Amino acid sequence: MRQMTLVAFLQAQNCTNLPSSWRHPQSRTDSWSADYYRHIGRVLEAGKFHLGFFDDRLSMPDIYGHDHAHTVRHGIRCVKMDAVTVLTVMGMATERLGLGATYSTSYYEPFHVARLFATLDLMTDGRAAWNVVTSLNDGEAQNMGREQVIEHDLRYDRADEFMEVVFGHWDSWEDDAIVQDKASGLFAHAEKVHRLDHKGRFFRSRGPFTVPRSPQGRPVIIQAGQSGRGKRFGAQWGELIFVVYPNIAVGTRDYAGFKAEVAGCGRNPEEVKITHLVNTVAAATKMEAEDKWALIDKLPLEIDALSLLSEALKEVCDELERWFLERACDGFVVSATHVPGAYEDFVGFVVPELQRRGLFRTDYAGKTLRENLGLPVPSVAAWRGTRAKLQGWS
């Protein structure tokens, strides 16, 4: 039976997506400590979440007169730490939870990103995922040596080539390359470790890559492009897609459209999961949910573009069930009003009800993120076939 994919939408910062969440009476005040992320990881794993995912932005928001004073004074996402480092801490506190981090194709070299995520994948026994973003803020550009962001579609053209280099490097070591025969002194078959020698329009990278393949082959690719060009990129490369659909009717239409685009790239649409962004306020009874909502409602609210479900548990689960069964999505990216409380509530109330309805699993299917998402281990260089079809090279 088809079951939901659940992703927690996390931030390595001082608040959730709701900037005032740090003022919530139950928000922890040590969001820059390792223990905070260990705690969240354990909560999510107890709830059998597929993935804890960290967003990223390479700058402090300072849109009010290019001054950070307002941002810092009000704690509006002014702390932002490196997501992969935080994710590693979370990985060390968990055993099955998938671990996703955002990294930009606009400000790093593909070799570096390929090595970073391949290493993370090995260090977490095959649980890593990379959210590929092209970055849209000028503040990020100015922190990274540029004046402004690269033009929208050009960012994606660069990102396409970036992915070719990253995937190319990830394919360098054949699965049976390593021998480690201490007696003969043969460490690995040289003919099974390949050099990439990439020379393209935007990037050059020679290789050979220095990290062998992980138990899940390579990290899972996450993508959240919303524009036409972004969706095309996602259909080509993404395996877990984040969407924000305004309602179920648009959702079912766009879900089918996106899956068709994936098929058009020569890929199996069943091997691409689409998760819709939600924000829930969960409690055992409607009255308790209303009390919880009242606490949140006292905070300055900026929950942009999020559908906030604060009904009684039954209604919240009915709504999630409807989106899932009507194929407006394959699951949900769950955003939090405050941390860790919102995830503790989701795991304590929503997950058991979804499990009772048979909509969500009661245990992890395996060890790696791919096993748990139901995605096959990609064989070396399999992606090149779909690229060739798309670009008419064969």
Residues that bind ligand FMN (CB under 6 A): 9, 55-57, 102, 133-136, 224-227, 230, 242, 244, 277, 333
Q: How far apart are CB 233 and ligand FMN at their closest, in Å?
A: 7
Give me the residues paired with residue 133 across strands: 104
In one-letter notation, the amino acid at residue 181 is D
Q: Are 341 and 26 in contact (CB under 8 A)?
A: yes
By C-beta, is 139 or 217 nearer to ligand FMN?
139
By C-beta, is 209 or 233 nearer to ligand FMN?
233
Tokens read off for 90: 């979370």
By C-beta, is 7 or 350 nearer to ligand FMN?
7
In one-letter notation, the amino acid at residue 34 is A
By C-beta, is 58 or 380 nearer to ligand FMN?
58
Q: How far apart are CB 208 and ligand FMN at their closest, in Å?
A: 31
Nearest residue to ligand FMN on Cβ basis: 230
Q: Tokens 């499990």 appear where? A: 355
By C-beta, is 98 or 225 nearer to ligand FMN?
225
Q: How far apart are CB 231 and ligand FMN at their closest, in Å?
A: 7
**Rounded to an integer, what is the distance from CA 35 to the centroid of its chain?**
21
Q: How far apart are CB 215 and ligand FMN at their closest, in Å?
A: 26
Q: How far apart are CB 275 and ligand FMN at their closest, in Å?
A: 8
102 burial (CB, 10 Å; 0-12 / 13-18 / 19+) is: buried
SS (H, E, C) 312-346: CHHHHHHHHHHHHHCCCCCEEEEECCCCCHHHHHH
**What are the Cα distances from residue 16, in Å, to 11, 53, 75, 101, 184?**
6, 12, 11, 15, 55
By C-beta, is 259 or 292 nearer to ligand FMN?
259
Torsion sign, CA atoms 119, 122, 124, 126: positive
Q: How far apart are CB 279 and ligand FMN at their closest, in Å?
A: 11
